[in-house]
Structure 1
Amino acid sequence: MFRLLTVLLVLWFLYLIREVFPPFIVGGIFAYLLLPLVNQVSTRFRLKPGLAVAIIYILIAGLIVGTSSWFGGAVAEQFTALVAQRNEIVISLVQQVSDAFHWNLDVEHTASDLIASLESSLGSPGEIVHVGGLLSKSLLAVLVCIVSSIYLVVDSRSVGLFMLRFVPKNQHENVIRLSSRMNVMLSKYVRGQIFLIILMSCVAYGFLHFVFHLKYALLIAILSGFLEIIPVLGPFFAISIATIVGVAQHGVQIAIWIILSYWLARLVEDYVVVPRFIGHAVQLHPLAIIFAVLCGEVMAGALGMLIAIPVAASIKEILDFLYPASGERPHATSPETTNPPTATVPLSGIGTVPVPVPTAEAKSTQTVDVTNIEVISTSEGQIDKTSNSNSSEKA
């Protein structure tokens, strides 16, 4: 009873401070992306993890500065122009729709109502105090994100060992197996999403700028790429934004061609690019994806929508591990192996952990795949360890 009450109090406290979590979550995602690269650089060039982190962050900062100097000016200019001309865009949109469908609308009155509705829901760009407060809060969040990601990468071993303290020793092998499966799944998902963002941004810019000659094509294309990471709703928002801007500039007739272009791009992405080059990292039913995205939006807004799919996929991996389908061997440790012989095995990002070694009577061969480390236990009680440095050592 006391343990249950403690858990409920902790959950209630976490709910009260939920607004603090977003920068730490984003920092954790960055750390997760950079940790394999840091380990590889540190191992290959024999550098300390802290020095490897510093070098990688300097290179990333240089890449961001270079990209910003190349595209940043054009994107900022288009964004400023879009905000300044928002009233003209809405008026032109209403006029184009009214003329196309022969509606007898009061264009000025309808447009002013739409603008007022948008500003009431999104906030007026002229609210300097609001913008200044939002900017300072965003800068603080970015700083916390960067600092937390650095600490999580440098202290990943300590964090991993700390988490293993709460796991019974006889369950370490199961935890390693489960974390390995989740790590493979999440790595494929994150890499795939980054690739799709870049691909969709380039494709959208290609037909928006060179085919339809839209203003703000670069801004809309980049936005379309980032909206790709929001399943179901993201592509719909991207199509809506591009269509509204296209109709306001070139009339209603262009809307069908913009929608068709996005639809064809999505078909190629879903049926050619993803299966052939990325693979389906998360095996979730479409209804489960929609449900997860909506739950994420309700619980944590935009950030919740971004992390809804990996969280749902992680939960599915845990359930599949604990309750395997019929015909699969359960992963739980049997009572007979509660205190088996153990060997110390290096775990990427954690350090060394004890892994049970089967006794000499074991006839089968077990493989524990931990990120880039393969632990093979044989009937003779030997352990072969293969790491990124391709070194082998008998336990």
Structure 2
Amino acid sequence: MLFTPTQKRAAAWALMALLALGLLRALGPVLTPFVVGAVLAYALTPLVDRLDRAGRGRLPRVLAVVVVQLLVIVVLAGLVLLIVPVLVKELPLMREQLPTLFDRIDGTLRPWLAQFGIHVAFDVDSLKAQMLRYLQGNYEDFASRLMSSLKVGGSLAFALLFNVLLIPVALFYLLLDWDSFVHRILELVPPRNRPAVDSFTHEADQVLGQYLRGQLLVMITMAVFYSVGLALFGLDLALPIGVFTGLAMFVPYLGFGIGLALALVAGLLQFASAKALVMVAVVYGLGQLVEGFYFTPRFVGERIGLHPLAVIFALLAFAQLFGFVGVLVALPASAVLLVAIRRVRSGYMASRLYQSG
């Protein structure tokens, strides 16, 4: 059976895609800092370009890159300094209130279940002893255990430190030469295919730009919403938990779920009553409604058009294939893939094969 030139080209592109996929999977840990740097560079390049144009050529572009990168570092450092000290301060409170919390939950839950003929025996003493064993260790013991684990898993610690140091370096050079990198990649496209590729990259750029910058606005807005909402209920950890929940929404469903669990635990430890459940139901319930029906449609829009099931599948599939890097690029890559699927579908609908069917 002879293949047409079009079929041969399609098979060659499919083979190249499979080889690239295998290479990406094999080099996933090595590519992590470069992928993170590329995602950040794509999102921050418009800001660098604006600063560069504001200088009107009198100032070198490298200065704009340094300013933007320092701004990112200051923001990240501020978030760490905001969240970590508060959580460390609340650790003694958790040690004090946890036994009482277990007793109140047991005293409330067991009679309530008994009304429905369900008799459950909770080993509260064992749960308290186990939890306190994890919380009562002092910081010296924690430090010694940490150093011991670093000695055992030295390669993992080195890899983490290597990524932390390499990401800013990769981000700097990508921001400095982003347009040049994109131009060199597009130069590899044959001239006869460039109009179609340019049209595709333009549409994909619009989708990605709207997603990334719109999602950033949603994250900031929801971080303020959750922080204020939890603070109105009097939660001591309102600010760090609210900020974490809003920023963690970059990973759909997972970030929201972790933030909700943190708020529920903190509320139960502080209030030890049904007020914690009411607080979580009101703040996080309203948050989901406001984010889903107003902020996301307004800031992100409907251009991406990914179904919720497609979002969940993309996160699980990319995480399975590429680990942390997969989670990071799952939705942007799915958005670009959706653009390609739309074009393939449009071409098929307009083809003779479909018309004659």
Task: State the TM-score bracket (shorter-chain normalisation).
Answer: 0.7 to 0.9
Q: Does 1:262 align with 2:270?
A: no
Q: Does 1:65 align with 2:82?
A: no
Q: Secondary structure in 1 aligned to 2:235? A: coil
Give the share of equivalent positions with the same residue, in percent. Answer: 26
Cα distance in structure 2, aligned partners of 1:315 and 1:233: 22
Change (3 A) 1:299 1:199: same
Match of 2:236 among 206, 215, 224: 215
Residue-by-residue CA offset, 1:248-271 (whole Å, 9 max, x unaligned): 221240213312221111101211
Change (3 A) 1:325 1:175: closer
* Shift in Å, 1:26: 1.0
Change (3 A) 1:125 1:204: farther
Change (3 A) 1:232 1:72: closer
Q: Does 1:284 align with 2:297?
A: no
Match of 1:201 among 223, 226, 241: 223
Q: Which runs of 5+ in 2 are unaligned?
A: 1-7, 111-119, 136-140, 353-357
* Shift in Å, 1:171: 0.5
The equivalent residue for 1:246 is 267
The equivalent residue for 1:367 is none
The amino acid of 1:100's aligned partner reads: T
The equivalent residue for 2:5 is none
Change (3 A) 1:139 1:320: same
Cα distance in structure 2, aligned partners of 1:116 and 1:12: 45
| Length-normalised TM-score, structure 1 | 0.70
1:3-14 correspondence runs (5 A): 11-14=21-24
Change (3 A) 1:294 1:93: farther
Cα distance in structure 2, aligned partners of 1:92 and 1:137: 42
Q: Does 1:52 align with 2:61?
A: yes
The amino acid of 2:218's aligned partner reads: L
Q: Secondary structure in 1 aligned to 2:64? A: helix
Match of 1:100 among 104, 108, 122: 108
* Shift in Å, 1:66: 7.3
Please tell me whether the aligned partners of residues 284 and 313 of structure 1 are also in contact (alpha carbons under 8 angstroms). Answer: yes
Please tell me whether the aligned partners of residues 198 and 225 of structure 1 are also in contact (alpha carbons under 8 angstroms). Answer: yes
Residue-by-residue CA offset, 1:321-368 (whole Å, 9 max, x unaligned): 2331777799xxxxxxxxxxxxxxxxxxxxxxxxxxxxxxxxxxxxxx
Residue-by-residue CA offset, 1:165-211 (whole Å, 9 max, x unaligned): 432210101111100111111111111111121111111111222x2
The equivalent residue for 1:128 is 146
The equivalent residue for 2:27 is 17
1:1-395 correspondence runs (5 A): 11-47=21-57, 51-62=60-71, 64-65=73-74, 68=77, 73-83=81-91, 87-88=95-96, 90-102=98-110, 104-113=121-130, 126=143, 127-129=145-147, 130=149, 137-209=159-231, 211-253=232-274, 254-324=276-346
Task: Report which structure shows greater RCO (CA 8 Å, sep ≥6).
Answer: 2
Cα distance in structure 1, aligned partners of 2:226 and 2:257: 14
Change (3 A) 1:262 1:186: same
Change (3 A) 1:245 1:267: same
CA RMSD in angstroms, aligned pairs only: 3.5
Change (3 A) 1:10 1:188: closer
Name the count of aligned residue pairs. Answer: 322
Cα distance in structure 2, aligned partners of 1:84 and 1:158: 53
Greater share of helix residues, 1 or 2? 2
Cα distance in structure 1, aligned partners of 2:180 and 2:76: 35
* Shift in Å, 1:305: 2.6
Residue-by-residue CA offset, 1:286-306 (whole Å, 9 max, x unaligned): 211111122133233444333
| Length-normalised TM-score, structure 2 | 0.77
